[in-house]
Amino acid sequence: MKVLFLSKKHDVHSEKALTHLNQFGWEVVSCFGVWGEKLPPDAQTWDGDLIISYLSRWVVPESLLVKAKVGAINFHPAPPEYPGIGCINFALYNNEGTFGATCHHMLGKVDTGKIIKVKRFPVYEKDNIQSLLERTYDYQLSLFYDVMDQFYTDKAFPESQDEWSREAYTRKEFNELFKISLEMDEEETNKRIRAISFNEFQPWIEFHGKKFYYKSE
């Protein structure tokens, strides 16, 4: 098996996934990146059997997807109810009781391919972005082990009955979540604070054409 593994630089879960993959004895080309980087030459010229996108910082072009003779799969850090970006943010905003991770086949359009397997877990009352993100990454790694071990044994991927339930969340929708206005009630304001506040990322109020970042106590 010739495999292309696309993942996130300086991430312990990504390193563990690659280590596990290498145990299979396959010929693996791995590329780790950060947001904004161009797809590496090793990926652009790759030709083989399977592409695995695991927390990848690149949208895989269709010209590369068609080179994978067996298939191209992605591990998405959210359940099928939350395709696209900002998934954890929107789940916290919507006060979801469960979250999860999804493995699916890749198509040219992001987060639309047939779903292979979903792993779900509870969201707790005191969860914030950091706690939910960390648990999502743990469950996603467990999902990776499950899917790849079954593929190694059966030479085929599982087939899930789950389906994507909406169009992918967009950058515009995500950016809108940051905005707080003076007209919003306390409940709406608190929902946005919970959904957005994380390190340097904070909701903001626009007043007289200027942005004022809102920090909760």
Q: What is the model's pLDDT at position 201?
A: 75
Strand partners, 185: none
| Residues of the chain under the 70 pLDDT cut | 206-210, 212-217
Provide the residue ranges of all domains of the chain, joining segments of one domain with +: 2-154, 178-213
| 191, burial (CB in 10 Å: exposed 0-12, middle 13-18, buried 19+) | middle
- Residue 125 confidence (pLDDT): 94
* Structural fold of domain 2-154: Rossmann fold (3.40.50)
pTM equals 0.91
pLDDT in tens, 95-120: 999 999 999 999 988 899 999 999 99
2-8 sheet: strands from edge to edge: 27-33, 2-8, 48-54, 68-76, 98-105, 115-122
